[in-house]
Amino acid sequence: MARGGENRGRLLLIILIITSLFLITLDLRGVSVIGGVKTGTQSALSPVQKVGSTILSPVRNFFSDVFYLGRTQSEMEALREENGKLLTQLRERRSIDAQLEQLQGALDLAGKAEFKVVNARVISQGATTSFTQTITIDAGSDNGIRPNMTVINSYGLIGVVKTVYSGSSLISLISDPSFRIGVRVAGSQQIGILAGQGTRKGVLQLLDNQSTIKVGDILVARGSVNNRPFVPGVPVGEVTSVDNAAGAVTQTADVRFFADFSALSIVSVVLKGPESDPRDTLIPAKPMPTPIPTVTVFVTPSQSPSPNSAGTD
C-alpha cells in the first residue's frame, strides 16, 4: 500500500516535470498561446498595480522620512503631534513634487531634442525572482508604445522597451548586466560599447585602440537605424575612472550612469526620434560653483594711540 503511494508520488513528480519542460519548449519555440496567457495575466494585473502604486506612493517616501526623523528624534518629539497633519500633507506633496520634477525634466529633455514622447508612471520595479533589472510602466500599446523604443527621464537614458502589453510595458534598464549600448564620447567621434553591471556603474570598452578617454568625459547614445532601439544624442553617463592596463587591446573605463534607477517614478518613452542627430546639445550643463561673498575690512590707524594700548609695552 505504502509502496503504491510512493510510486504514485513519483509518477506525479515525473508528470509535473515533463509538463514544465513541455512549457519551456513551447515558450522557446514562440507558441503564441503561452505569450497570450502572459499578456492576459499582465492585462488583468495592470489596474491592480496602478492602484497599488497610488496607495504606496506616500509610503515609499515614508521610509526615507523615518530615517531622517530618527536622527533628530529628540527635537521632533515635542512637535510630533502638532506636525503630524503637516507631515502627512508634506509627504503627499513631496511625492507629487518629485513626480512633477521628473516629468518636467523628461519633457525638457524631450523638447530640446525634438522627440515625440509619451510619459508614463513607474508602477513596478525590479524582479526578485530573476537576476534582471527591469521596471514596469503604466503605458503600453494603447499609448503607441512598441518594443525596442528608447526610454528616458530628465537625466538621460533609462533603458529600452522590452515587452509591451495593452496598458503597461516592461522596460529593461541600462544597468541590467545583459544590456549593451553603443555610445559616443561627447565632443569627439570616439565610439565604444557600454555594458551594464547590475549597479549604477557601467563598463565602457572603446572600439578603436587608437582612441583615448579621460575621467569626466560624457557619453551619449550613438543611435540606431530608424531610431530603434536607441535615439541618438541622449546622455548616458560620465567616465569616472579609466583602466590603462598595458596589455589591453582597447581602453576600458568605468562609467557612472546619469539616471538614478532607485528613484524612478516618471519616465518618457520616445515614440519618434529627431529628424537630425542632436549631437551634443542634450548634455546637461555642468553645475557652476556658487560664488561666496567675501568682506574686506580696511583699518585706518588712528593718529593718537588708544588708552587701552597705552600701557602694553
Partner 1 sequence: MSTRKVSLSALLFLVVYVIQEAFVTQLHIGGGGFSLFLIFALLWAALSSPDIGALTGFAAGLLIDLSQSTNGAVGQWTLVLILVGFGISYLGLGYENVRMNPFTITLLVTGSVVVARVIYLVLSLLLGEKVGSFTSILTSLLIGALWSAAIVPILMPVVARAYDFIDDSRHRL
Choice from 110, 118, 170, 204 touching partner 1 (CB under 8 A)? 170
DSSP, collapsed to helix, strand or coil, labels residue 13 as: helix
Segment 30-59, which members bind partner 1 (CB under 8 A)?
34, 37-38, 41-42, 45, 48-49, 51-53, 55-56, 59
Q: What are phi and psi of 184, to 5 degrees?
A: -125, 140
Q: Work out whether 126 is an interface residue with partner 1 (CB under 8 A).
A: yes
Q: Taking CB under 8 A as the rule, which mask of x and - marks residues 234-263 in contact with partner 1? A: ----------------------------xx
Residue with cell 514544465: 20
What are the angstrom distances between the C-alpha of 262 and each of 6, 77, 122, 173?
49, 30, 11, 11
By beta-carbon proximity to partner 1, the closer residue of 209 and 241 is 241
Shortest distance, CB of residue 119 to partner 1, whole angstroms?
Answer: 19
Q: Taking CB under 8 A as the rule, which mask of x and - marks residues 187-226 in contact with partner 1? A: ----------xxx---------------------------
Q: Taking CB under 8 A as the rule, which mask of x and - marks residues 263-282 in contact with partner 1? A: x-------------------
User: Within 10 A of 12 (CB to CB), how many other CB atoms are there?
Assistant: 10
Q: Work out whether 95 is an interface residue with partner 1 (CB under 8 A).
A: no
DSSP state of 97: H
Would you state the cell numbers that stand for residue 151, as one nine-digit string? 526610454
Beta bridge partners of 125: 135
Beta carbons of 234 and 267 less than 8 angstroms apart: no
Choice from 95, 143, 154, 168 touching partner 1 (CB under 8 A)? 168
Beta carbons of 221 and 234 less than 8 angstroms apart: yes
Preceding peptide of 235 cis, ω within 30°? no
- Angle between helical axes of 32-71 and 2-28 (0-180°, round to 10): 90
Shortest distance, CB of residue 208 to partner 1, whole angstroms?
Answer: 25
By beta-carbon proximity to partner 1, the closer residue of 186 and 266 is 266
Shortest distance, CB of residue 178 to partner 1, whole angstroms?
Answer: 4
Query: What's the one-letter identity of residue 270?
Result: V
Q: What is the CA radius of gyration of the chain?
A: 28
Residue with cell 526623523: 69
Strands (E), 16-140: 116-125, 134-137
Q: Work out whether 136 is an interface residue with partner 1 (CB under 8 A).
A: yes
Choice from 7, 24, 116, 305 touching partner 1 (CB under 8 A)? 24
Q: Phi/psi zone of residue 98: left (φ > 0), alpha (ψ -120 to 50 degrees), beta?
A: alpha
Shortest distance, CB of residue 151 to partner 1, whole angstroms?
Answer: 16
Choice from 134, 205, 211, 250 touching partner 1 (CB under 8 A)? 134
Shortest distance, CB of residue 264 to partner 1, whole angstroms?
Answer: 9
Residue with cell 515625440: 116
Q: Work out whether 20 is an interface residue with partner 1 (CB under 8 A).
A: yes
Q: Work out whether 163 is an interface residue with partner 1 (CB under 8 A).
A: yes
The footprint of partner 1 (CB under 8 A) covers 8-9, 12-13, 16-17, 19-28, 34, 37-38, 41-42, 45, 48-49, 51-53, 55-56, 59-60, 63, 123-132, 134, 136, 162-163, 165, 168, 170, 176-178, 197-199, 262-263
